[in-house]
């Protein structure tokens, strides 16, 4: 049974066997924080980093991690965050071991920056095994395809 979660103008259908969270860190003084979606085929612990620190270490060879990280409205439409109509799908060959935030043997990652509905995002995904990238990329795309973004304020 799939489940559906939403928050901060973002929504996601969570496939069976996945778990996901939509959160926004409490800002400290002089800091602005923005919404983050994390989804994984492994348990998401309470203590973790926005880019999956604390999660990616537990990925097995059949596991996937996906994060959507929103940036400030000033970034929307800039050169780094081109405007798109739909959240971009990933291709198996876009995953690279060198694109990991933290290199873990066997794993591969990919990062995409884009603006949608006037909001800017980074899409970051890690797969447990580069050798299984075709199957795992398909799983990631199933989740990515369900992301919906409401218009920015």
Partner 1 sequence: MLVVGLAVAVALLGVLVAGLLRGHAEVLRALHELGVDLDPSSSPRRESNTGWVGVRSPGTARRVGTRPTPRRPSESDVVDLTGSTPSGDSVSLAVAGVGHDTLIAFLTSGCATCRSFWEAFRSSELEVPGGARLVVVTRGSEAESPGAIANLAGDLPVVMSSEVWEHYDIPYAPYFVYVSGPGSQVVGEGVAAGWEEVKLLVSNAVTDGTTAPKKGWRARSPADQRRDDFVDRQLREAGIEPGDPRLYPTSITDAGGGS
Q: How many other C-beta atoms can be found within 10 angstroms of the C-beta atom of residue 12? A: 23
Tokens of 110: 């990919």
Q: Does 129 bind partner 1 (CB under 8 A)?
A: no
Evaluate whether 53 touches 104 at the Cβ level (below 8 Å): no
Evaluate whether 35 touches 152 at the Cβ level (below 8 Å): no
User: Among 9, 21, 89, 129, which residue sits at the site for partner 1 (rule: CB under 8 A)?
Assistant: 21
* Residue (40 or 81) nearer to partner 1, CB: 40
Evaluate whether 61 touches 132 at the Cβ level (below 8 Å): yes
Supply the minimum distance, in Å, between the C-beta of residue 127 and partner 1: 15
Q: Does 79 bind partner 1 (CB under 8 A)?
A: no
Q: Does 33 bind partner 1 (CB under 8 A)?
A: no
Question: 108 has which bridge partners?
Answer: 127
* Residue (24 or 102) nearer to partner 1, CB: 24
Residues forming the site for partner 1 (CB under 8 A): 1-7, 13-24, 26, 41, 43-47, 60, 135, 138, 142
């Amino acid at each position: 049974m799939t489940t559906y979660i939403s928050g901060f103008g973002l929504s996601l259908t969570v496939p069976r066997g996945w778990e996901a969270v939509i959160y926004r860190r409490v800002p400290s003084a002089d800091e602005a924080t923005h919404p983050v979606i994390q989804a994984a085929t492994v348990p998401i612990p309470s203590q973790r980093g926005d880019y999956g620190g604390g999660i990616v270490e537990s990925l097995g060879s059949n596991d996937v991690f996906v994060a959507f990280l929103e940036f400030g409205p000033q970034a929307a439409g800039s050169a780094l965050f081109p405007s798109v109509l739909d959240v971009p799908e990933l291709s198996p060959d876009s995953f690279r071991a060198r694109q990991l935030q933290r290199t873990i043997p066997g794993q591969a990652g990919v990062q995409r920056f884009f603006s949608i509905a006037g909001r800017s995002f980074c899409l970051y995904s890690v797969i447990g095994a580069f050798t299984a990238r075709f199957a795992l990329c398909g799983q990631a795309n199933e989740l990515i395809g369900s992301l919906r973004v409401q218009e920015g304020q």
